[in-house]
């Protein structure tokens, strides 16, 4: 079953690379009492993710935060080394959270996993964005195709805030 608007996010623990090494961050730590924009990508460093989806959120970070959002996070079924390297190379380190859902547990619990084995990627996350308030999904935008970044793009999220 796919998570829906009005649902509470499932409990999960992510890994995030920091200057001091990897840290664990739970859904409670990230979302409790906060208004957070979360978006997901099928994979760090993949073309649409790196050239379109992530840059839109980095370019619009200040505009999103100005709309009363406390934090922005991107999640992918990748390990924390990959997510940390992506944060560094994209210029996003310290600007948004780069969350490693290393085993896909969070993605599967949301019901937003997709098998991309035909493309050599294995089980990954569907591309989506959501606005989460105090752990509850307020808006959810899931792309029809992993190669698209339209309904889950930063511009679309800005219009919903």
CB 42 within 8 A of CB 62: no
Say how far apart CA 80 and CA 91 lie, in whole Å.
16
Is 0.75 surpassed by the pTM of this model? yes
Residue 3: is its pLDDT beyond 90? Answer: yes
pLDDT value, residue 120: 62
Residue 116: is its pLDDT beyond 70? Answer: no
Residue 74: is its pLDDT beyond 90? Answer: yes
Say how far apart CA 47 and CA 32 lie, in whole Å.
32
CB 37 within 8 A of CB 69: yes
Q: Please identify every residue annotated as catalytic.
A: 49
Residue 72 CB neighbour total at 10 angstroms: 22
Strand 97-100 and strand 71-76: the pairing is parallel
Average pLDDT score over residue span 24-45: 95
User: How does pLDDT run across 119-138, given as a tens digit for each residue?
Assistant: 666 577 899 999 999 999 99
């Amino acid at each position: 079953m796919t998570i829906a608007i009005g649902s509470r996010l499932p409990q999960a623990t992510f890994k995030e690379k920091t200057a001091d090494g990897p840290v664990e961050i739970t859904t409670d730590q990230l979302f409790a009492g906060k208004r957070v924009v979360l978006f997901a990508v099928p994979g760090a460093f993949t073309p649409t993710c790196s050239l379109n989806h992530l840059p839109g959120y980095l370019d619009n970070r200040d505009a999103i935060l100005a709309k009363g959002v406390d934090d922005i996070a991107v999640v992918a079924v990748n390990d924390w080394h990959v997510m940390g390297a992506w944060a560094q190379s994209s210029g996003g380190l310290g600007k948004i959270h780069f969350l490693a859902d290393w085993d896909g547990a969070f993605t599967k619990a949301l019901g937003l996993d997709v098998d991309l084995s035909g493309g050599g990627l294995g089980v990954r996350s569907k591309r989506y964005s959501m606005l989460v308030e105090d752990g509850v999904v307020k808006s959810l935008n899931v792309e029809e195709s992993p190669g698209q970044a339209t309904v889950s793009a930063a511009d679309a999220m800005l219009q919903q805030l």
